[in-house]
Amino acid sequence: MSKFWSPFVKDLVPYVPGEQPKLSKLVKLNTNENPYGPSPKAIAAMQAEVNDNLRLYPDPNGDRLKQAVADYYGVQPAQVFVGNGSDEVLAHAFYGLFQHEAPLLFPDISYSFYPVYCGLYGIEYQQVALGEQFQIRVEDYARPNGGIIFPNPNAPTGCLLPLDAIERLLQASPDSVVLVDEAYIDFGGRTAIALVDQYPNLLVTQTLSKSRSLAGLRAGIAIGHPDLIEALERIKNSFNSYPLDRIAIAGAAAAFEDRAYFEKTCQQVIDSREAVVAGLQGLGFEVLPSAANFVFARHPSKDAATLATGLREQGVIVRHFKQQRIAQFLRITIGTPEQNQALLDALQGL
């Protein structure tokens, strides 16, 4: 610990991202990246921005991207917030919407950045246990709270909460913000953005890292009532008034505009996911129902950590979590058909 640190820094427990190995020939199925590249139109739009205009600041409001998102989802630009990856958008939401006397609620098995933000911003929280089948039970959230947040589909389980259940949750906590973190929604779910006009306490966040193949760009969005968006804008403009650069705004907007490419690659991932599920089940694995670009699987007689090590020795990397309830599960990203087959072939011998 450095004597120069602010006092609270020593107590922080930072988020640990998935490994980004340096070797090039690995089958990398551990960080839920899209196996298909970005839209060619997005790449062209970004290349067009690499010119002398980079000496100028970008649009601080990201209006081009806000308009593209508004057009895509049929909302108003005033209902859209854009940020430097959905993690930054989430950070602003935690700071601007969840600092209340009652605790923030989120699942006990969920995105591990949530407790990190609570530690960073001094937010009291309670983790709500998933059911025996690793499903969110809406009735468990009908208690006093300072906000509710959960991924949908959940991560790392991949399980989806249907929109009617989200509505019940919104109705039970009308005085709290309910944030639905939709990083993986495009791989099998219906977005809760359809509900934002009915529920002023609903905020939906999304990322372009997964379904739009732009993890390396860092672009994320939030959609909700203009009052919620204004809170995020106030935080953003007190922290970093130019979060998205010219290249990111152009590429992200073009990615939303290219619906055909987006729909084609999402369907390819969905089709591959179903093939991976069938292959894993054929090897004796139990696989949770997934609406994401990954699956969560365990074997009744083979240790997950041992399997992860065995796969790595064959050049296949998957994610293993040590958290008690899920220590026997592997989270496996859906890759190309060739990568998926390499995974199944490697598992055959373990």
Query: Per-residue confidence of the chain (350 residues) as pLDDT tens digits?
Result: 688 888 888 888 887 777 777 666 789 999 999 999 999 999 999 999 999 999 999 999 999 999 999 999 999 999 999 999 999 999 999 999 999 999 999 999 999 999 999 999 999 999 999 999 999 999 999 999 999 999 999 999 999 999 999 999 999 999 999 999 999 999 999 999 999 999 999 999 999 999 999 999 999 999 999 999 999 999 999 999 999 999 999 999 999 999 999 999 999 999 999 999 999 999 999 999 999 999 999 999 999 999 999 999 999 999 999 999 999 999 999 999 999 999 999 999 89
- CA geometry: angle 128, 329, 13, nearest 5 deg: 55
Residues 6 or more apart from 213 whose CB is under 8 A from it?
Answer: 33, 34, 36, 37, 38, 39, 255, 265
pLDDT at 12: 87
Structure tokens at 209: 């890292």
Helix (H, G, I), strand (E, B) or coil at 98: coil
pLDDT at 8: 83
Q: Name which CATH class applies to 40-258.
A: alpha beta
Helix (H, G, I), strand (E, B) or coil at 317: strand
Which residue spans of the chain are classified as CATH 3.40.640.10?
A: 40-258
pLDDT at 14: 83
pLDDT at 2: 82
Helix (H, G, I), strand (E, B) or coil at 223: strand
Fold of 7-37+260-348: Aspartate Aminotransferase, domain 1 (3.90.1150)
Helix (H, G, I), strand (E, B) or coil at 127: strand
Alpha helices in the chain (DSSP H): 40-48, 63-73, 86-97, 113-121, 163-172, 226-237, 246-257, 259-282, 304-313, 337-348
List beta partners, residue 127.
Answer: 106
Helix (H, G, I), strand (E, B) or coil at 105: strand
Q: How far is the C-alpha of 183 from the C-alpha of 328, rounded, in Å?
A: 24
Residues 6 or more apart from 168 whose CB is under 8 A from it?
Answer: 138
pLDDT at 16: 75
Q: Is this prediction's pTM over 0.85?
A: yes
**Which one, of 213, 228, 297, 226, lies nearest residue 258 by Cα?**
213
Q: How far is the C-alpha of 75 from the C-alpha of 195, rounded, in Å?
A: 11
pLDDT at 23: 62
Q: How far is the C-alpha of 108 from the C-alpha of 120, rounded, in Å?
A: 19
Give me the sheet containing 294-298, strands edge to edge. 286-287, 294-298, 330-333, 319-320
> In this structure, are residues 321 and 296 in contact, taking their beta carbons and an 8 Å threshold?
no
Q: How far is the C-alpha of 259 from the C-alpha of 302, rounded, in Å?
A: 42
Amino acid type, 109: I
> In this structure, are residues 173 and 145 in contact, taking their beta carbons and an 8 Å threshold?
yes
Which residue spans of the chain are classified as CATH 3.90.1150.10?
A: 7-37+260-348
